[in-house]
Copies of this chain bind each other. A is one copy, B any other.
Amino acid sequence: MELWFTEKQTENFGITAKIKRTLHTEKTDFQQLDVVETEEFGNMLVLDGMVMTTEKDEFVYHEMVAHVPLFTHPNPKHVLVVGGGDGGVIREVLKHPSVEKATLVEIDGKVIEYSKKYLPSIAGALDDSRVDVQVGDGFMHIAEAENAYDVIMVDSTEPVGPAVKLFEKGFYVGIAKALKEDGIFVAQTDNPWFHQHLIKQVYNDVKEIFPITNLYTANIPTYPSGLWTFTIGSKKHDPLQVSEERFHEIETKYYTKELHKAAFALPKFVADLLK
């Protein structure tokens, strides 16, 4: 018998992947959590039926969330990751020698637990001594923080379930407060083929709060449409004005300093959403 996992990415379109076996399935306090072993993408973490990350293509998302803001900031020391319990963003953050502390606030401890068990190449970084792993509500953490972080990364699920609050304007106001005076934040903001309204709304909200606001993209095969967007809000440093000497060598599979700039060149129909 062949087993195939199908994610309906919209009502009328989806991806389907052949699986070898289910490694774990559980209804946690927050969401349905599944880990499956796929033929094409290695182990795959699925939350509420949506692919979160796979061993084969995880590097794209994690590198592009982390390195764009971290190379934009001249000296990031303290980084906060909201969500991201799989540890992939943290792994990339730790490649920057200036980072002294990386705080992770993940609402669902089970995501951390099963990522460590089944996605060790991604989650292993969570055991690094510079990492402070907190199981808790990122929204509350942000509400209570002030002038605390150089860079904040919002590595959330889609705006359904526990992550709804992380796409509201009040959250971005809180992030601005939680950042230091030259702080930068980035959030994953879904894809421009099926979620144009969301991208537009987040961009306009962030733009009212941060003097420098931009959208950039990356190709992620297992995410809807294969084209993912990230919205970056910065108080001072422009992600498109990074000096050559700021870039240092890091080991990556997707990010390059040329791609850092190129990722901001948007397809016309995406650029038009932001007008």
Give residues of chain A (221-255) contacting chain B, Cβ–Cβ below 8 Å: 221, 224-227, 252-255
Residue of B nearest to A220 (CB): B226
A interface secondary structure, majority: mixed
| Distance from A271 Cβ to chain B, minimum over Cβ atoms (Å) | 7
**Chain copies in the assembly?**
2
Please indicate the chain B residues that have their CB under 8 angstroms from the CB of A217 in the complex.
219
- The reply to whether A254 and B269 contact each other, CB–CB distance below 8 Å, is yes
A18 touches B (CB below 8 Å): yes
Residues of B within 8 A of A263 (CB): 262
A23: chain B residues within 8 A (beta carbon): none
Per a CB cutoff under 8 Å, which of B6, B252, B253, B261 touches A265?
Answer: B261
A265 adjacent to B256 (CB under 8 Å):
yes
In the complex with contacts A221-B225, A227-B221, A267-B60, A41-B16 CB distance below 8 A: no
Q: Which one of A38, A193, A263 has the highest number of Cβ atoms from chain B below 10 Å of its Cβ? A: A193
Given contacts A10-B40, A14-B15, A39-B12, whether A259 and B254 have CB atoms under 8 Å apart is no
Which residues of A pack against B, CB within 8 Å? 6, 10-18, 38-41, 57, 60, 193, 217, 219-221, 224-227, 252-256, 258-259, 261-269, 271
